[in-house]
Chains A and B, each alone.
Chain A
Amino acid sequence: MPADIPVASTGTPSGVPARRGIPGSVATIALLLPSYAWLLLAVFLPLCTMFVFSFMNATPMGKTPIVFTLKHYQAFYTQPYLVKIAWDSLLMGFWATLSCAILGFFAALALARATTGRVRETLLILILLPFWTNGLVRVFSWTMVLREGGFLDMLLHSVLPDAGSIGFLYTRPAIVLGLVHGYLPYMILTCYIALVTIDDSILEAAESLGARWWTILGKILVPLALPGLTTGAVLTFVPVIGAFMEPRILGGRVGVTMGTVIEDQFTQAFNWPLGAALSFTMLAVVLAIFATFSGVLRRNSGAAA
């Protein structure tokens, strides 16, 4: 083993003339400003507009005089079926996120631990490959696979010609499958980043102390990858419960989720205030879930300390 002695990086290597002019803090601000300005413009302003909309009695484009009201925020109370839909959406988000976490963690583990150099680069590119094609096309292609007599059935019948159909298009599992397909890369990448930084010697140390693979997995790898898993879970859960494309295409009649209900308010019912109010209610629910979870996570790591 070469003796890699960690050396604290120094600002300017000796011999190189020190940078003149711009102090560090100014440079930092200058570099961050464009992206923050863009985020403010592209995210915060529309969000504020929607927030204002959610208190209006009607979409401010018709002839109806605009009155501010709280009635849309009572939708969950006045239309109880929305609670069921919200719950189903959260459950769907839970299953999709859990599936992504399990599949993604092990895929990332294999990438980070079992592969090297070129193989690893190629596999990483293959993970990102789905992003190169249109999302709608990818979801539609699943209907070809999952429908009765589809690719899945063909595959089954080539082995067992007399078997019935196992196509499960237009079911909840089909929606979850589509969502996992769409969001798995995020989970793989966030877990990979966390796992790839773990020094091999840490795992070797654990093994030398008598740990079997399951102990190393449970006591070393998963805890050390927790930040990656958490980030991946957030990146998956949030868009998944608001998703409307996958539920519509793969869910058919059962594909009524908060995402589709909200989308309907904007595109079909033309009731933007209700759509906005439902969005913000879901946002509040999601934030509440995250707050609870981060509390639990912090307490766990606190207990481990």
Chain B
Amino acid sequence: MTNVKINSVAKNYGQVSVLSDITTQFPEGSFTSLLGPSGSGKTTLLRIVAGFVTPDSGTVSIGSRNVTNVPVWARNIGMVFQSYALFPHMTVRENVAFGLARRGIKGAEARSQIDRALEMVRLPGFGDRKPKQLSGGQQQRVALARALVIQPSVLLLDEPLSALDRRLRQEMQVELKRIQRETGLTTVFVTHDQEEALALSDQVAILDRGQIVQMGVPTDIYEKPKTRFAAEFLGDTNFLTGTVSARIVTLSDGTAIRLADAEVAPSDGQSVTLAVRPEKIRIVEGVADAEPGLNRLQARVTAVIYAGAALTYVLTASDGTPFKIFAQNTTGTIIPEGAQVTLTWEPKHTILLQDQA
């Protein structure tokens, strides 16, 4: 149970920079998700921690130990792969015993540790089966037991749930979180599934083109994205651009949007991009006055997507930007396409993005 420190790590493959100067820390006992699109470098970063990839520069420490030049087999890591990577010619018990045998743990001591590990992943009694006789979810549990039984310093998960179907994946998320809490293992989890990252993690790191663009607790990452990329990658977002003047952003059609009080306003006259999450916006048919203190924007409905419990309205705002909002189907009435609507939201849900508009 130790923290992981990554200091100025960079990695290039030929001319292509996969990771550029990453410095970050995964605190002891934390569950960190590395989230990003394909090619963002998230897997490379995990593989550098594991030792499968040697960084071109920088250092990796696990606990107080600098492991930058320590081979994989000596790092004492627990790794779970997307493809399960169970040894197909061995039984479940033999799979779990593999790491113990490498540590000289055999006989009765090994047996009891294997039993405990299989109980932890809720697969007692499956020991004599071959991987082929198990379902995908069960195989991944065995892989998890195999990684946990060696009492690793750090648990590395490389998209472990991606190959599972949706229902099983949700079930495994709960299991994974429970096991991580019980063991208190510092865990690094690579995923491209944003909901999975938000649901499981203590902290989420968003990677883009080899850099960590934002790192923080899930609520901060979702409610206060710093960049357009972060806002867009995590959840749906509407963007507005305008010019600042005295904490008010004026859109091209003259609509005034108030910034959140907590936001440090940029200097007047600057052009900025705002983000508003679709579920934060209320929709009213017709041109209506907003309650005082709320932001208000006129729009026209271009499409309605009816999904029973929820509705998605696709709109065009008065300044011409495309907009999207989610509404709960509480009233049963659906605003028709082409209708004029008024959108309102609280200023505190107006996110000021840091990149240039």
Q: Is A154 part of the contact surface with B, judged by Cβ < 8 Å?
A: no
Q: Is A75 part of the contact surface with B, judged by Cβ < 8 Å?
A: no
Chain B contacts of A301 at CB under 8 A?
A: 89
B163 contacts A6, CB within 8 Å? yes
B78 contacts A223, CB within 8 Å? no
Stretch among A174-182, A208-216, A253-261, A284-292 lining the B interface: A208-216
A304 contacts B90, CB within 8 Å? yes
Q: How far is the CA of A219 from the CA of B72 in the complex (A)?
A: 18
Contacts between chains A and B (CB distance < 8 A), count: 83
Q: A209-B98, A210-B103 are in contact. Are A1 and B85 (CB under 8 A)?
A: no
Chain A contacts of B90 at CB under 8 A?
A: 304
Q: Is B38 part of the contact surface with A, judged by Cβ < 8 Å?
A: yes
Stretch among A61-69, A199-207, A233-241 lining the B interface: A199-207
| Residue of chain A at shortest CB distance from B156 | A208
Q: How far is the CB of A305 from chain B (nearest CB, A)?
A: 6
B88 contacts A211, CB within 8 Å? no
Chain A contacts of B72 at CB under 8 A?
A: 204, 207-208
Question: What secondary structure prevails in chain B residues at the interface with A?
Answer: loop
Q: How far is the CA of A21 from the CA of B82 in the complex (A)?
A: 41
B162 contacts A5, CB within 8 Å? yes
A209 contacts B81, CB within 8 Å? no
Q: Which of B74, B146, B158 meets A1, CB within 8 Å? A: B158
Chain B contacts of A6 at CB under 8 A?
A: 163
B81 contacts A223, CB within 8 Å? no
A220 contacts B83, CB within 8 Å? no
Chain A contacts of B77 at CB under 8 A?
A: 208
Chain B contacts of A208 at CB under 8 A?
A: 50, 72-73, 75, 77-79, 147, 156
Q: How far is the CA of A301 from the CA of B88 in the complex (A)?
A: 12
Chain B contacts of A305 at CB under 8 A?
A: 91, 128, 130
Q: A2-B38, A208-B50 are in contact. Are A224 and B88 (CB under 8 A)?
A: yes
| Residue of chain B at shortest CB distance from A198 | B88
Q: Is B102 part of the contact surface with A, judged by Cβ < 8 Å?
A: yes
Chain B contacts of A224 at CB under 8 A?
A: 88-89
| Residue of chain B at shortest CB distance from A204 | B52
B85 contacts A202, CB within 8 Å? yes
| Residue of chain B at shortest CB distance from A2 | B38
Chain A contacts of B52 at CB under 8 A?
A: 204, 207
Q: Is A3 part of the contact surface with B, judged by Cβ < 8 Å?
A: yes
B162 contacts A201, CB within 8 Å? no
B76 contacts A206, CB within 8 Å? no
Q: Is B209 part of the contact surface with A, judged by Cβ < 8 Å?
A: no
Tell me the B41-86 residues at the A interface (CB within 8 Å).
Answer: 43, 50, 52, 72-79, 81-83, 85-86
Chain A contacts of B159 at CB under 8 A?
A: 1, 3
B102 contacts A210, CB within 8 Å? yes
Q: Which of A2, A6, A210, A301 has the most CB of B within 10 A?
A: A210
Given contacts A3-B162, A3-B163, A202-B85, 19 further A-B contacts (CB under 8 A): A3-B159, A5-B163, A199-B85, A201-B81, A201-B82, A201-B85, A204-B79, A204-B81, A205-B79, A205-B86, A205-B146, A208-B75, A208-B78, A209-B73, A209-B98, A209-B146, A209-B147, A209-B150, A211-B102
Pairs across A and B, CB under 8 Å, 14 listed = A201-B82, A204-B50, A204-B52, A205-B87, A206-B87, A207-B52, A207-B72, A210-B76, A210-B99, A211-B73, A215-B102, A219-B98, A224-B88, A224-B89
Q: Which residues of B does A touch, CB under 8 Å?
A: 38, 43, 50, 52, 72-79, 81-83, 85-91, 94, 98-99, 102-103, 128, 130, 143, 146-147, 150, 156, 158-159, 162-163, 192
